[in-house]
Amino acid sequence: MVRLRYLLDGRAAQWQAEQRARLRQAGRSPSYPDSQIAAIATVNDLVLVTRNSVDFVDFQGLQIKNWFEEYTSDPGDYMIHDRVFRDR
């Protein structure tokens, strides 16, 4: 197993601050730890693999992958457990 270590550096801190300010102006309040995770992933050009993608969808530029989603026959829909959602 390869382990990579990424830290909240100056670039990530700046990205985090900008995103939190943008989301607050839009009336949203992202969690601080989620915004740190999103910042580190984005500035290092990483894909964030999470089962909890709902908490990360508002961050701009963040690549998200949820390996627990099952795709339906309609390419615009996806299924999580027994609920079907439409792509935005």
Is residue 20 within 8 Å of 30, Cβ to Cβ? yes
Mean pLDDT of the chain: 83
Q: What pLDDT, in 10s, does the model give residues 37-66?
A: 999 999 999 999 998 899 999 999 999 998
- Interval 58-68: pLDDT, tens: 999 999 998 87
Q: Is the pLDDT of residue 71 over 60?
A: no
This prediction's pTM:
0.72
Tell me what pLDDT residue 36 has: 95
pLDDT at residue 8, as a whole number: 87
CA dihedral 30, 31, 34, 39 (to 10 degrees): 60
Q: Rounded to an integer, what is the distance from CA 63 to the centroid of its chain?
A: 6
